[in-house]
Amino acid sequence: MIRFGLILLILVASLLAASTWRVYGHTWDEPEHLAAGLELLDRGKYEYDTEHPPIARVLIALGPFIAGAHSFGTAPPDGTQEGIDILYDGGHYDRTLMLARLGALPFLIVLLLAMWLWARRVATSDWEALLAVLLLATVPPIIGHAALAALDIPGTATSLLALYLCQKWLSTGSRRDALLFGLATGVAVGTKLSAMPFIGLGMFVLFLSREFFLAVPTTASWYRRASGLPLMVLAAMVPIVLAYGRRSIDLTELPPRFGWVTEYLFPGGSAAHSDVYALLGRLRLPEAFWDFAEGIVALKAHNDTGHLSFLLGHVKAGGWWYFYLVELAVKTPLPLLVTGLIGLWLLARDGWRDRNPWQVAPPVLFLTVLAFASFFSRINIGIRHVLILYPFMAMGGAYALGRLWSARASLARSIVGKGVAVLLVAWQVSTLATAYPDYFPYFNETVSHPERVLVDSDLDWGQDLRRLELRLQERKIPSVSLAYQGTADLSKEMLPPYVRLPPRQPATGWVAITALTREHEPAGYAWLNAYRPVERIGKTIDLYFIAP
């Protein structure tokens, strides 16, 4: 029965994610992920947007590649135009996009299975563990991002699995578990580089909590664990190296495009610059080393520079330390937000009392990842970057609901407790119906105007253009002035005659503007505030008619 329930949950979650494919056009990042993966499959090179590694991108590109898509060889490093050309090539836009998204969907299955493995160690029964999987599978941003050809769910799934295997290795100290942890870490890092701090810090705090704060007796000696470390490191290197393609193990000299890396780390004119450049110039290393090292530095450069972020009506480069606190408050279904936080506290309390490292792990990892993202990350562009927090909240939510269900009290209080637990679970599950199909732009009931709180990839990622096209056709609108931010090729879309509407140039007739455009140019389109939209298309596009 339990196994059937788990399979059913995974199947329903996958079908719900896939059902949104027909609704959305491609989002901002999907073309570049497709281009990078297809370049590696088709040309054996990896030069587009190298701050993201290739494992998930190859799977995203695999379906289109088998169906006949090919790389056009657009000059790197920006692969967005390359991806756009691939999507629209040959009039197979819908098929190519569907196949790309299909390649990312298996990571949702990995995520839910990893959730099950974790929850069985934390929960007091298999039913409670299954409830944790249910709570995670009913978080709209999880289902929404699983539907996209992007890296956020793949990174979350592989990181969660690696952290589970890390905790298991710390418990047993066996070489087999060290090997499995190393392989899972290599896959996670080869999927998304944010796995490095998540897993690295996670391993550190799990070790500290087990050995020093809980002082858990263990049969694994320090020597046994230490002997597994080299095996773990070697195992982690295998998927990372192989991920960069058939030429990844070829020994090569310093590539010319690596020059910007040394210039960034050791600016020209410094004493170290010439010494480092001379040293690297004498080395012959596997090609995968240069690619991977460039990706790490590219991500560091992006974080050092910061990203233009929007929060509560303000735009700022570099973000805010409380950005992800607001994200969790408004993007999490309220039943999970309440029960998850209460449950994490209960797990910390009970785990400390019982010296149970598995129960202590979820609150410790939740706080560690949230603190790291809040105080270190300057790329504040969406809950998608901290989706790893939701599995730990789901474990906490299931634990709290389990305590509520089984609380020993008077008959009346027991009935009330069970009734409240059932209502909270029903409310959580109902969000999938009320939010459909707008899962990744979901906001909970505390937010009536999401565009005033968060926008980029939390609300508008360019996804509603297809809905706009259909609505314009239904209304038989002859022409439109369009203010759009996204990566679609408007000349190849099913739009009526249109003009791009620049900022600070009021227009008449039919006008459509996206939330992301307003975020980027709030003053430039402030003139539209004097008018009332005819309707909102999807969640992100306002359609106006302005009389001449």
pLDDT in tens, 157-198: 999 999 999 999 988 888 899 999 999 999 999 999 999 999
Q: Flag whether pLDDT at 225 surpasses 80.
A: no
What local confidence, expressed as pLDDT, does residue 323 receive?
A: 94
> Is there a contact between 372 and 201 (Cβ–Cβ < 8 Å)?
yes
Q: For 498-513, what is the mean pLDDT?
A: 93
Label residue 222 by pLDDT band (50, 70, 90).
low
Burial 504-529 (b: 16+ CB within 10 A, else e): eeebeebbbbbbbbbbbbeebbeebe
What local confidence, expressed as pLDDT, does residue 218 receive?
A: 65
Dump pLDDT digits (tens) for 435-475: 999 999 999 999 999 999 999 899 999 999 999 999 999 99
DSSP string, 252-280: E---GGGHHHHHHHS-TTSHHHHHHHHHH
Of residues 107 and 265, more confidence is placed in: 107
User: What are the beta bridge partners of residue 460?
Assistant: 456
Q: Which of these, 65, 61, 1, 73, lies nearest to 31 by C-alpha position?
A: 61
Question: Angle 499-500-502 (CA atoms, 0-180°, nearest 5)?
Answer: 130
> 239 to each of 174, 229, 243, 448, 499, how far by Cα in Å?
21, 17, 6, 45, 48
Least-confidence region, from 253-262, 344-353, 513-522: 253-262
The helix (run of H) or strand (run of E) holding residue 544 is: strand 541-546
- Residue 110: exposed, middle, or buried by beta-carbon count in 10 A (0-12, 13-18, 19+)? middle
What local confidence, expressed as pLDDT, does residue 422 receive?
A: 92
Dump pLDDT digits (tens) for 380-432: 989 999 999 999 999 999 999 999 888 766 666 678 878 899 999 999 999 99
What local confidence, expressed as pLDDT, does residue 220 receive?
A: 63
Tokens of 48: 């587009």
The helix (run of H) or strand (run of E) holding residue 309 is: strand 308-311
What local confidence, expressed as pLDDT, does residue 53 receive?
A: 94
215: DSSP letter: -
Q: For 248-260, what is the mean pLDDT?
A: 74
What local confidence, expressed as pLDDT, does residue 294 receive?
A: 81
What local confidence, expressed as pLDDT, does residue 308 receive?
A: 83
- Give the SS3 label for residue 141: helix
What local confidence, expressed as pLDDT, does residue 411 receive?
A: 62
Of residues 17 and 412, more confidence is placed in: 17
Q: Flag whether pLDDT at 245 surpasses 80.
A: no
Label residue 241 by pLDDT band (50, 70, 90).
confident
> 429 to each of 25, 144, 299, 433, how far by Cα in Å?
26, 15, 37, 8
pTM: 0.94
For the chain, what is the mean pLDDT? 90
Dump pLDDT digits (tens) for 257-304: 777 777 777 776 566 666 676 777 677 777 778 788 888 888 888 888
Between CA 175 and CA 66 the distance in angstroms is 38
What local confidence, expressed as pLDDT, does residue 258 receive?
A: 73
Residue with tokens 């990995």: 110
What local confidence, expressed as pLDDT, does residue 296 receive?
A: 85
